[in-house]
Chain A
Amino acid sequence: MAAILKNETLPIKSSSDIVKVRQFAREWAVSLGFSLVEQTKVVTAASELARNVLDYGGSGKVELEVLQNELRQGLKLTFADQGPGIADLEQALKDGFTTGSGMGLGLGGAKRLANEFEIDSAPGRGTKVSITRWRNS
């Protein structure tokens, strides 16, 4: 079980908040000693998921956590909204599937860019997505 070393929650209410989420994710990834590619992956995944919160949930929040397990440290980001939720999770994770105007890469892409991915959603219950990226080596 990983210990939480640090955490902070940011609101996601407008597209400028997406920029802020990216900046925070970057700063935290840098302070954890992530390589440039790891930083870029986690920041890009954060951007996709923050946009999902805004586009599908209307608004929501993200919690950033620095985790420590037996071996290494990681960055966990949990995005939550109170939107309509997702009826078919399997379909939502498929590349190219979207109910919005985007390209349908957000969820599947974020999953590929992270080491761990969890999603919890049902119609009327909102959506919660967590990604964790562990530092290599």
Chain B
Amino acid sequence: MDRIPILKMGEFLLVTIQVDMHDQLAITLQDDLTQQIVKHRAHGVLIDISSLEIVDSFIGRMIANIAAMARMLDAETVLVGMKPAVAITLVELGLSLAGVRTALNVEKGMAALQSSLKGKEFFGRNTEK
């Protein structure tokens, strides 16, 4: 069975979706990612969709679910690299991914995660080792 690789980068996990996902692959990714968040105690997840030509409601729902699951596991999700045509189409489709943070690229997404992690430390949430 093919899988989408999940890379660990410091405290964050990076998922680059490059293939046209069929449904089972999307479900496997949800399972794998939630397990990896717990295993590596990751505080952030970056999902890079810069290679995706389309996002339909199924994939959109999967991304929203991942963000919600990650939040419950104390990890933030940032969706990066959405193509302009995909953004136009998603909104017209009726899917605005309201609960999902976005950034233009991996670098900016990483910076967003880092600054929100710092904010958390400031409030003393992640200071215990």
Residues of A within 8 A of B (CB): 15-16, 18-19, 22-23, 26, 36-37, 39-41, 43-44, 47-48, 51, 95, 102-103, 105-106, 108-109, 112-113
Contact = CB atoms under 8 A, between A and B. Distances in A.
Interface string B28-54: 000000000000000000000000011
* Residue of A47, A48, A51 most packed against chain B (CB within 10 A): A47
Interface string B8-31: 000000000000101110000000
Interface stretch (B84-92, B104-112, B120-128): B84-92
A106 to B, nearest CB: 6
Contacts of A39: 85
Given A15-B22, A16-B22, A19-B20, A40 B54 contact: yes
Given A26-B53, A40-B86, A44-B56, 15 more contacts: A15-B22, A19-B20, A37-B84, A37-B85, A37-B88, A40-B89, A43-B54, A44-B90, A48-B57, A102-B58, A109-B92, A109-B94, A109-B95, A113-B89, A113-B93
* Residue of A43, A44, A106, A112 most packed against chain B (CB within 10 A): A44
Contacts of B54: 22, 40, 43-44, 47
Contacts of A22: 20, 54
Contacts of A19: 20, 22
Q: Is the interface of B mostly helix, strand, loop or mixed?
A: helix
Interface of B: 20, 22-24, 53-58, 60-61, 83-86, 88-90, 92-95
Contacts of B23: 15, 18
A109 B92 CA distance: 7
Given A15-B23, A15-B24, A109-B94, A102 B57 contact: yes
Q: Is the interface of A mostly helix, strand, loop or mixed?
A: helix
B108 to A, nearest CB: 23
Given A19-B22, A23-B20, A109 B86 contact: no
Contacts of A47: 54, 56, 58
A26 B92 CA distance: 18
A106 B88 contact: no
Contacts of A48: 56-57, 93
28 contacts: A15-B22, A15-B24, A19-B20, A22-B20, A23-B20, A36-B85, A39-B85, A40-B54, A40-B83, A40-B85, A40-B86, A40-B89, A41-B89, A43-B53, A44-B54, A47-B54, A95-B94, A102-B57, A103-B57, A103-B60, A103-B95, A105-B95, A106-B57, A109-B92, A109-B93, A109-B94, A113-B92, A113-B93
